[in-house]
Amino acid sequence: MTGSQEVGKAREATLNLRHEIELVTPALRRFAQALSSETEELASGCGDDIVHEALLRALKYERPPHGLSVRLWMYGLVCNVHRQEAGANQAVARDIRMRRHHTLREANGALWPEPLVAVTSALQKLDVEIRECLLLVALEGLSYAEVTEVLKIPMDVMLARLSRARATLAVQMKYNAVRPAPTGTRPLPSAHLRLVK
């Protein structure tokens, strides 16, 4: 009897965990997509690959370790998977980027208003550590304390990374915005599009 009760309890715990994970999955997809937007074309696919791998890893457990909340635990798993995959796919990603550079720029312009293209390409130039930090705070809305739990870093390191990420992003975006001006001859394909707030 106790055996079957234990089995029932374990099953219930698994179901609870799955339910909780499912609630955060849409946000995890957004985070993974922003994190892995090495190239626009691959962003969606890469992001979902990362979330899938994170789900597989999570489902090996009944509950998050170290008393973490499911949400923070999953963000941490996504970061880990992304770091591993980014290392493994660096050569592949660079190769694709080289081959499709021009087509991608045109495709971007057609799909997204200029400021959104600028923020994405600036984002991908940030180091992974500071990109994670910026996205967890600015996109996912985690508190500073939560980010230190997810990334397992002290508060001052977190603040330094956040500060560096925001400064670098600002410089990159300014650079992207200014760069087409000197040439002046080639109008951007998306010049007629404006950011709607």
Compute the least distance from the CB of residue 123 to another protein, in Å: 8
In the complex with another protein, the residue whose CB is nearer, 77 or 118, is 118
Q: At CB < 8 A and 24+ separation, what contacts does 18-27 make?
A: 18/59, 20/70, 20/71, 21/55, 21/58, 21/59, 21/70, 21/74, 24/70, 24/71, 24/74, 25/51, 25/55, 27/71, 27/140
Compute the least distance from the CB of residue 72 to another protein, in Å: 17
In the complex with another protein, the residue whose CB is nearer, 56 or 110, is 56
Per CB under 8 A, 34 contacts another protein:
yes
Per-residue b or e along 72-87, where b marks 16 or more CB atoms closer than 10 Å to that residue's CB: bbbbbbbbebbeebbe
The correct pick among 6, 12, 22, 127 for binding another protein (CB under 8 A) is 22
If you compute the radius of gyration of the chain from its CA atoms, what whole number of angstroms results? Answer: 20
Closest to 74 (Cα-Cα) out of 60, 61, 55: 55
Encoding tokens for residue 168? 């670098």
Residues 142-161 that bind another protein (CB under 8 A): 143-144, 159
CA distance 194 to 197: 9
In the complex with another protein, the residue whose CB is nearer, 18 or 185, is 18
In the complex with another protein, the residue whose CB is nearer, 139 or 153, is 139
Compute the least distance from the CB of residue 70 to another protein, in Å: 12
Cβ neighbours around 194 below 10 Å, total: 10
Report the Cα–Cα distance between both ends of the chain, in Å, rounded: 60
Per CB under 8 A, 108 contacts another protein:
no
Per CB under 8 A, 195 contacts another protein:
yes
The correct pick among 24, 77, 81, 169 for binding another protein (CB under 8 A) is 169
In the complex with another protein, the residue whose CB is nearer, 76 or 123, is 123
DSSP annotation of 186: S
Compute the least distance from the CB of residue 42 to another protein, in Å: 7
Per CB under 8 A, 139 contacts another protein:
yes
The correct pick among 6, 12, 52, 61 for binding another protein (CB under 8 A) is 52
